[in-house]
Structure 1
Amino acid sequence: MADTVSFPVVDQAINTLKKVNEYINAGMDTTIDVAQDLVENDKVTEVSSKKVMDLRNIMLDFTRMDRDLQQFRAAVELVKRQCKKGAVEDMEELLDEKLAEIQAENTDEELKQDEKYTDFEQKIRDILHPEEGLPSQAQPTQVDDDIAVMQEVNTKCPYTGKEMTHPVRNIHCGHHYEKEGITQLMKNRKGRAKCPVGGCVNDKPITASDLEDDKELKRYIERKNRQATKRQKHAAIMV
């Protein structure tokens, strides 16, 4: 009967799966880092090179594992809800049924639309073709250690004064802020926070719906930081 089902045990198992999900995400992040180092250091000129292809397949495997894990958790939740409504003769059979329904339309092609996977591909392209996909105010200027060095883009939050790591863009005036910083400003001003950029003509109070993630600027910041780290390492070796 449904009232005899030990859901706390099931929930504990699901919490364990959440930890597995963290490991998968960590694996994805590591694969992206390795791919960036490979392309930068080995002077890979073709995205189809064997090493990059191997890493691409690893990313797809991680993406597939992440999808399977999320779908299994969704199937478990469906079974739990059905058990609460009434008796279930065979929970394992029901779980298999729900999981099969969820997975019925799975395709390998959709894996390539995953956010982490597209981030992997974009970062490779950014390194191989630094002149493409840069923020509009950044243009390539010269080559330093075979790395395109871009004109400075303002990557500091106008509110916190610190380097941004998660930039968001105000859709009304186009100014960028660190997400955590502008969220805190909005909270402090209680709905009356305005763009903190001096001289901004936008006098509309900022709301969450006015802000959008700027993935292009975020990639620029990440690449800028990687280049700075490489130059520091190179300088240390030369000392």
Structure 2
Amino acid sequence: MSFSAVHGTLSSLKSCQADIGTGMDIVTDVAMDLAEAQDKDVNPAIDEMRAMIVECARLDREINFFVDIVQQVTTEVVTQHPEAMFSLSAKVKEQFTERTARLSDTDLHNHPKLVAFEDSIKSSLNQASQEPAENTEDLQGDVVVSQSQVNFTCPLTQVEMVNPVKNKKCNHHYDEEAILCLIKTRHSQKKKCRCPVVGCENTDVSKSDLIPDQLLRRMIQSQKRQGKRM
């Protein structure tokens, strides 16, 4: 097996991982729709979707493990004799088995997409219980209008967010692409990433602090739809 083949495989896995993330977002959206509908059979359906999210989270973590291990092992092999390539597969399999065996339910339930799922369902159920079903869309529009100036603009790009994420440390929101780019830039400079919100005392933002905010994303999309109808 050549190194180019290894890199090609890892690239394919990363693409697959992105598709898994998209699928988890779709499942979360459907679950939120069910929660807002207040159907009497909603809980079993949401439980099934929660189980799907958990399995996707497990697969996502396993892909991360595999990619990290392959990159580490291949880096080690490069410095050794060419014959070491023949043991690459066995080394990867051994380390991957060890790491996945240590993956606990607690680790899975801390996955950002699963945390986002739980937060989104909770928010949707609370909103549905407080609003008459026939007025949900209108009232949601009122919420959008009242909060757009506060919550919808990314503090980095100064434009409306596309994929908002919430920092679980300071509860501030950013557009996902913008904050990840900032974190990467700061880390490449051997510096910590400070929260870009003016006045925030959070001086160390990391990728693991970010949780997708599906409810806010839906509200932004709702505002866009309303704007097109006007």
**Superposition TM-score tier, normalisation by shorter sequence:** 0.5 to 0.7
Aligned mates of 1:112, 1:175 — CA distance in 2:
22
Question: For 2:217, which of 213, 217, 222 is the aligned residue?
Answer: 222
Distance 1:109 1:8, change over 3 A: same
CA RMSD of aligned residues (A): 4.4
In structure 2, the gaps of 5 or more residues are 183-197
Aligned mates of 2:33, 2:172 — CA distance in 1:
32
- The one-letter code matched in structure 1 to 2:12 is T
Matching of residues 25-44 of structure 1 within 5 Å: 25-41=21-37, 43-44=38-39
Number of matched residues? 198
Distance 1:156 1:71, change over 3 A: closer
In structure 1, the gaps of 5 or more residues are 133-139, 184-199
The residue matched to 2:110 in structure 1 has which SS?
A: coil
Contact 2:161 2:174 in 1 (8 A): yes
| Seq. identity, % | 22
Contact 2:116 2:213 in 1 (8 A): no
Distance 1:216 1:177, change over 3 A: closer
Normalising by structure 2, report the TM-score: 0.64
**Does the alignment pair 1:65 with 2:59?**
yes
Give the number of the structure whose alpha-carbon radius of gyration is greater.
1
Aligned partner of 1:129 in structure 2 is 126
Deviation digits for residues 74-96 of structure 1 (CA, Å, limit 9, x no counterpart)? 12112202212324252222121
After TM superposition, give the deviation of residue 7 of structure 1 in Å: 0.7
Contact 1:45 1:128 in 2 (8 A): no
Deviation digits for residues 123-144 of structure 1 (CA, Å, limit 9, x no counterpart)? 1100111399xxxxxxx8x646
Normalising by structure 1, report the TM-score: 0.62
Specify which structure has the bigger relative contact order, considering alpha-carbon pairs within 8 angstroms and separated by 6 or more residues.
2
Aligned partner of 2:6 in structure 1 is 10
Structure showing the higher helix proportion among its residues: 2
